[in-house]
């Protein structure tokens, strides 16, 4: 089933390399409506140096695959460090060390062989088995959240639907029973802003304070699970063990950083995917029929979700840094080149996904999208995310009709970030069934 449309406006109208030098991914209009910019880059300059961002934007599917296959030449660790709190890193780190219980570098944002050890221990805590058991719990949460919505709206679907669902699910997984959802949302925004490249110094200080609070919250939980293990993911990380390995368990610092990663990485991203569902239903009303017909069929729902993730990927680009001189996409890059892998652009490449702006859940290569990355860093939470989105979409189809946006596509506010493409607020009206 195939739905053609292309909502949203992009200010890019040509495809020349010269035009690309005049604009940047950080320009608010481009950042909000980037698809024509991606097209122009793929065609005119697929490994394009963005002068404002000081990064190479890698926009073609095949170049992104090359990078994913070689995590040593294209380092996550160096790319992430250069990205992290860019411009203010020392001050940011001082604040965390002084007021946040310590500075806990992101253990998972690392390179092999260290990453292989961390990922192995994390995988032990994050098994598909545990995710499969979650469907009834997720369904209860989604049904409860929809039940709490007013009769017809308008509501901000981000605040009333997407964020509460994802926060409740991840807290249940981690074993965090007492929490303030508003705080968790603020903490998530503060952590993700560190790779967004669009925060000024005042915002960095405000975000650092939020992260201090988050870390104290997590440290308390980790210490508790050291003494009193339970059936939850924090306990699984604290007690994860690979017998026979040189370093068979995680250190305290590593556990805190991984719990922080799990709490945050899956929050904004999964919530954004749910918001994008409403965005698509609101801007392509033909999709409502398609969703309704798919709702009773798990296979069809899974295909719907994959196409949703391809067409509107929550993560648009994540960074790497070259560790040696290398040729990529016909360009020679020096050692230390900072790259942004434009996953959203790869998903939009017509040679890989014909008529890429069409919503076509019968594509033969549906699962090839790179919305979850690829290679050794492929998203660890993808089974959980897919299930959350599938259950949310299914219950929306069963319980809400006449979904309409209360703003035009041009008025939708997007988070200032080069890493994610996140709708901040989405006023929506609907009829409850
Ligand atoms: C729709 C939702 C999600 C999207 C679009 C998404 C996207 C991604 C992407 C693109 C990467 C690759 C990073 C890279 O290339 O450097 C990634 C990695 C990761 N994701 Fe997700 N993610 C989602 C949900 C989740 C959830 C629910 C969790 C956990 C609860 C999670 C945890 C992680 C972690 C820890 C990594 C790092 C893995 C590694 O480097 O080995 N994500 N995610």
Specify the pLDDT at position 228.
Answer: 96
Q: Whose CA is nearest to atom 20 of ligand 1?
A: 379
Instruction: Determine contact, residues 27/331, Cβ cutoff 8 Å.
Output: no
Specify the pLDDT at position 15.
Answer: 59
**Main-chain dihedrals φ then ψ at residue 286, nearest 5 degrees:** -60, -25
Structure tokens at 249: 């368990």
Specify the pLDDT at position 8.
Answer: 45
Instruction: Determine contact, residues 138/391, Cβ cutoff 8 Å.
Output: yes
Specify the pLDDT at position 379.
Answer: 96
From ligand 1's centre to the CA of 379, what distance in Å? 4
Helix (H, G, I), strand (E, B) or coil at 48: strand
Stretches where the chain sits below pLDDT 50 are 1, 4-9
pLDDT in tens, 258-297: 999 998 888 889 999 999 999 999 999 999 999 999 999 9
Q: Which of 254, 265, 344, 420 to mutate to test the pocket of ligand 1 (most atoms within 8 A of CB)?
A: 265
Specify the pLDDT at position 2.
Answer: 52
Structure tokens at 289: 């029929």
Peptide bond into 113 cis (omega under 30): yes
* Crossing angle for the helix pair 181-192 and 252-283, to the nearest 10 degrees: 100
C-alpha span between 53 and 324 (Å, rounded): 21
Pairing of strands 47-50, 55-58: antiparallel
C-alpha span between 45 and 226 (Å, rounded): 52
Q: Ligand 1: does its nearest atom lie under 6 Å from the Cβ of 76?
A: yes
Q: Whose CA is nearest to atom 41 of ligand 1?
A: 377
Q: Which CATH architecture has domain 85-315+358-432?
A: Orthogonal Bundle (1.10)
- Cβ-in-10-Å burial (0-12, 13-18, 19+) of 279 comes to buried
Q: Is the pTM of this model over 0.95?
A: no
Instruction: Determine contact, residues 128/383, Cβ cutoff 8 Å.
Output: yes
Structure tokens at 224: 């508790």
């Amino acid at each position: 089933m195939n739905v053609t449309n292309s909502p949203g406006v992009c200010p890019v109208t040509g495809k020349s390399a010269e035009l690309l030098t005049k604009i940047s991914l950080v320009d608010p209009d481009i950042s909000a409506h980037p698809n024509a910019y991606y097209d122009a880059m793929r065609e005119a300059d697929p490994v394009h140096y963005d002068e404002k961002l000081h990064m190479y934007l890698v926009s073609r599917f095949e170049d992104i695959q090359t990078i994913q296959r070689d995590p040593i030449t294209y380092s996550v660790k160096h790319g992430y460090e250069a990205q992290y709190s860019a411009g203010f890193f020392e001050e940011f780190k001082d604040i965390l060390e002084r007021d946040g219980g310590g500075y806990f570098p992101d253990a998972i944002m690392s390179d092999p062989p260290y990453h292989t050890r961390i990922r192995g221990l994390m995988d032990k805590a994050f098994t598909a088995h545990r995710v499969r058991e979650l469907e009834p719990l997720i369904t209860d949460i989604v049904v409860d959240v929809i039940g709490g919505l007013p009769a017809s709206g308008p509501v901000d679907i981000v605040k009333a639907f997407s964020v509460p669902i994802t926060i409740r699910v991840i807290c249940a997984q981690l074993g965090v029973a007492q929490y303030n959802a508003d705080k968790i949302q603020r903490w998530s925004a503060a952590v993700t802003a560190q790779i967004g490249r669009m925060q000024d110094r005042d915002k960095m200080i405000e975000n650092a304070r939020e992260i201090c609070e988050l870390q104290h919250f997590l440290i308390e939980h980790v210490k508790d699970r050291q003494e009193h293990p339970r059936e939850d993911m924090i306990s699984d990380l604290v007690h994860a063990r690979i017998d026979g390995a040189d370093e068979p368990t995680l250190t305290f610092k590593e556990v805190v950083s991984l719990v922080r990663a799990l709490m945050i990485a899956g929050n904004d991203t999964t919530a954004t995917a749910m918001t994008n569902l409403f965005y698509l239903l609101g801007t392509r009303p033909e999709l409502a029929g398609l969703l309704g017909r798919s709702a009773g069929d798990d296979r069809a729902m899974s295909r719907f979700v994959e196409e949703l993730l391809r067409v509107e990927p929550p993560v648009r680009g994540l960074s790497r840094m070259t560790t040696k001189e290398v040729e990529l996409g016909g360009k020679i890059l020096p050692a230390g080149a900072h790259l942004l892998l434009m996953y959203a652009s790869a998903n939009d490449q017509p040679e890989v996904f014909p008529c890429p702006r069409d919503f076509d859940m019968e594509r033969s290569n549906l699962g090839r999208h790179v919305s979850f990355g690829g290679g050794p860093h492929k998203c660890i939470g993808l089974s959980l995310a897919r299930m959350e989105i599938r259950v949310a979409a299914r219950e929306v189809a069963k319980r809400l009709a006449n979904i309409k946006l209360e703003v035009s596509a041009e008025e939708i506010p997007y988070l200032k970030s080069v890493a994610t493409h996140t709708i901040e607020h989405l006023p929506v009206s609907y009829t409850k069934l």
